[in-house]
A and B are shown apart, each in its own frame.
Chain A
């Protein structure tokens, strides 16, 4: 496992070097030392360490407390204070920055180790809690939106029926006489059906259908999606490579829904590589978290060498109706639905991307 990175902020060089050595002995990595508050903020931003060990009293303009406050609020990195003396006033000030622990100098390695471990654990848990809270709010919002959409969708389908019926009637009556009329009617029909696709999408999201789960191998699921895909789209100059987990993995999923997710992700990958490229699909087992190494998850990774997604778009990727494929008739529900399906399986869908390098989508599911 990757060593935890700790940034040491201490203005006395010898003390700083000593702490660095002790931390490394305990199994941590120390990518840098900052000798002032200003330097600490800069290094924290560049290195994004897992934790900052911060001396409260620093010689230069910016105190340890000020630097800590910036680092924790701006970059969400946990802080552990290091101090030789702690008068009440300083401690009161330090408390406001909500540190994850204090270490009083001089200290033993044991103390250092346990305080850092507790801080890392606490920070991970806080992050998880925050994520769970956000998901809860999101799911409540979605449920309300779902009820709303279901009502609207139903109301829209009736007039769409009239428009479609009407244009087909006109088509029968008039299209033989005038080619322009035929084109116009065709366009009306196509738009009506497109509006219907959007409404269908809304309905699907409004009513997350009950999961009909079965125990299957993720590798089989990938193979099935690939064979389906080959019938539907020409892969042209796209190479598909699979790296399957050697061990037998099983997941408990609604096969149809999961096929839809894989299909969606693969289509996105293909569309991201109009000039060709490579899709790599991997399946593997991953520990649920660094604190519960006995619990494992199944990861299905789909990686392309396409154009990638800008940082700005990456943030909006899972929003309903967000699409960059408006011109290709995308309606912006694919990834939104895919994530929702993964979530309904107690899993997740995460997407990472670098522009001009490619995109990696990971479907993470509980192992069965």
Chain B
């Protein structure tokens, strides 16, 4: 079965290219949510195999989304890779006691993006 990946990021163009780039080389099914709340709803409904989550978003930010995902039975086991723009975000996540599988610092090259996704999905096999 094809893997389902949910991208939660308010930067629409960025999501568009991540989707294009991933779909071009794999059979992933990509779902996009441009808002945190919407992302959580979709995650609960669709139960994706992986979530790519941006930190800086208007409304509820990535930290809060991560907290809610990990605090809900339906979504707590879904691996999450965070998109960050700066290293200090990483420190903040660690300090918050929340857990995510990996980080990707923007802008990201395709090879890095694919490698990280593969690694996280492989670990779940």
**Chain A residues within CB distance 8 Å of chain B:** 150, 153-154, 157-158, 160-166, 168-169, 172-173, 192-193, 196, 203, 207
Contacts and interface: CB of A to CB of B under 8 A. Distances in A.
Given A153-B86, A154-B86, A203-B86, A164 B109 contact: yes
B27 interface: no
Contacts of A154: 56, 85-86
Contact of B86 (A150, A161, A162): A150
Interface residues on B, range: 20 to 34
A112 B20 CA distance: 84
Contacts of B85: 153-154, 157-158
Given A150-B86, A153-B86, A203-B86, A164 B108 contact: yes
B86 A166 contact: no
Interface string B70-99: 000000000000000111100000000000
Contacts of B17: 162, 165-166, 168-169
Most buried by B among A153, A162, A165, A207: A165
Given A154-B56, A158-B11, A163 B107 contact: yes
Across the A-B interface, give the 9 residue pairs with the lowest CB-CB distance, nearest first: A165-B17, A161-B107, A161-B106, A160-B107, A164-B107, A157-B85, A162-B13, A168-B110, A154-B85
B107 A165 contact: yes
B50 to A, nearest CB: 18
A165 B56 contact: no
Given A162-B13, A162-B107, A166-B17, 8 more contacts: A157-B85, A160-B107, A161-B106, A165-B21, A168-B21, A168-B109, A172-B21, A172-B24
B82 to A, nearest CB: 14
A interface majority secondary structure: helix
Given A157-B106, A169-B20, A192-B107, A162 B14 contact: yes
Interface in B42-63: 56
B30 interface: no
Contacts of B87: 203
Most A CB atoms within 10 A — which of B20, B56, B85?
A: B85
A169 B17 CA distance: 7
Contacts of A162: 11, 13-14, 17, 107
B18 interface: yes
Nearest to A162: B13
A166 B18 CA distance: 9
A173 B21 CA distance: 10
Contacts of A158: 11, 14, 85, 106
A350 B20 CA distance: 51
A157 B107 CA distance: 6
